[in-house]
Amino acid sequence: MSLTLGFDMAVKDTPWRWGIEGGVMNQGIADYFFEEDEPDHFVRPNFIYAGAFTEYGFHVWRQPLFCRAGLGYALESDMWVHHVENKHVPIVITGFGYDLDYFKAMLNGYIAPGGILVVTLSGGFYFGRRRK
């Protein structure tokens, strides 16, 4: 589960956009049950992050697509059986999506150190001047 709030805007009359976003990524919203004598082991990471990105819009077979890349800063909370470890890490923001007039659908990727890759499918509406 993730919740993201972002802002982006076009760079004059070019296919480029820049933006910022922040959000929360929780890799498991289900309850976990552990025995008291169970050994301590890693369960999952959670992230609270903020970052900046650029997007480039293009067309393939007349379909409006875009790709994105950026960098962010995150608080990573690693959940273990008997404790939680918090650390501050950089993240890489990636993505690929479909861009209609006021709607975007995209596959997002967030890459953190230690080999953690979070992939989310998202959709959302945006407001402002119509893209040409």
131: in domain? no
8: in domain? yes
**CB contact set of 77 (below 8 Å; sequence gap of 6+):** 45, 46, 47, 48, 84, 85, 86
32: in domain? yes
Whether residue 130 has pLDDT greater than 60: no
130: in domain? no
Q: What does the pLDDT look like over 22-80, one tens digit per residue? A: 999 887 666 666 677 778 887 888 899 999 999 998 999 989 999 999 999 999 998 88
Q: Give the DSSP H/E element, type plus range, for residue 45.
A: strand 42-60
What is the span of the domain harbouring residue 58? 2-125
Number of domains into which the chain is organized: 1
pTM of the predicted model as reported, rounded to 2 decimal places: 0.80
